Amino acid sequence: MMTLGSGVDYSRLHRSLPREIRGHVLRFDLGGGGLELVVPVSRPDGAGGIQADWPLSLLRRNGLVAVVNATPFTPEPILPGGRVRLEGLAISGGQWWSEPVSNLDALVVDTNGVIRVQQVPRQIPGLRWGAGGFLVVRRGGTNTFEKTEVDAVTVVGTTADQRFLYWLVVDGKQPGYSEGLSADEASDILGELGVTDAIRMDGGASTTIAVAGGWIGGRVLNRPRNWLYPGLPHPVGNVLGIRRRAESR
């Protein structure tokens, strides 16, 4: 792994079996107290929905170290500013601004900083940050064997001691570059990294991972699938973000 900054390590993933896959791993050291996982609030559209936005725009606007796509949403916009509806949980600083979906799981952070992946059937007290995903893919070190199609995938998980948070993104459905993974295959890779509990977030064309830095204030690490502009990320409904506590606000 290479270090991108204090507490942030990055590595590329390239495998040819069981098919050609290319991915990216960010590991965040949460043990030192300098980093925290957050879910920034998306911009309202003025009509009861939210505006989809570029992941890099969400990173820069909120002063984040890194972002990854989070909650599933509909419809799929081509350009930022389009109205979308999150299909799952969103909590920012204790504010619930999108309700959970009963048959889907979520990643939540409580007021003590403990990260959990679980179902959130209703509004419950004591949660500070949260984002809905699809289903838990790893629980207590065991693969839950969620079967999905092979595609681009975003999975997020922690080690048992909660010291390390891992983001794994694998591009998919790009012949000759990266075919993608199923959810249970992604879980196995996280297991190799020492992750015990993990959830699959939105994926497919939304799969995007980005970090701060560079002349435009950030860069996308993966090659998102975009039929109109190959390699350009799609606007998304929201993101998981990492920020330094000194920058918390």
- Name the residue among 151, 174, 166 with its Cα closest to residue 223: 174
Domain assignment of residue 158, given as a range: 2-247
Neighbours of 91 (CB within 10 A): 23
Question: In the chain, how many domains are there?
Answer: 1
Residue 248 has pLDDT above 60, yes or no: no
Residue 33 has pLDDT above 90, yes or no: no
Q: Cα torsion at 44, 224, 191, 144 (round to 10°)?
A: 60
What 3-state class would DSSP assign to 57? helix
Residue range 207-224: average pLDDT?
Answer: 94
Side chain identity at residue 247, one-letter code: E
DSSP string, 179-220: --B-HHHHHHHHHHTT--EEEE-S-GGG--EEEE-STTSEEE
Question: Given pLDDT bands bounded at 50, 70 and 90, which one contains residue 8?
Answer: very high
Q: What is the pLDDT of residue 230?
A: 78
Question: Given pLDDT bands bounded at 50, 70 and 90, which one contains residue 244?
Answer: very high
H helices of the chain, in order, are 55-61, 183-192
Mean per-residue pLDDT over the chain, rounded? 94
Residue 128 has pLDDT above 50, yes or no: yes
How many CA atoms, within 13 angstroms, populate the side-chain half-sphere of residue 129?
A: 20
Q: What is the pLDDT of residue 120?
A: 95
Residue 203 has pLDDT above 50, yes or no: yes
* 172-195 pLDDT tens trace: 999 999 999 999 999 999 999 999
Q: What is the pLDDT of residue 188?
A: 98
Least confident window among 14-18, 58-62, 219-223, 227-231: 227-231
Task: Count how many residues are written for the chain.
Answer: 249
- pTM tops 0.85, yes or no: yes
- Is the four-CA dihedral 130, 135, 139, 143 of positive or negative sign? negative
Q: What is the CA radius of gyration of the chain?
A: 16
Residue 30 has pLDDT above 80, yes or no: yes
* 68-125 pLDDT tens trace: 999 999 998 888 999 999 999 999 999 999 999 999 999 999 999 999 999 999 899 9
Question: Given pLDDT bands bounded at 50, 70 and 90, which one contains residue 249?
Answer: very low
What 3-state class would DSSP assign to 240? strand
In percent, the amount of the chain with pLDDT more than 70 equals 99
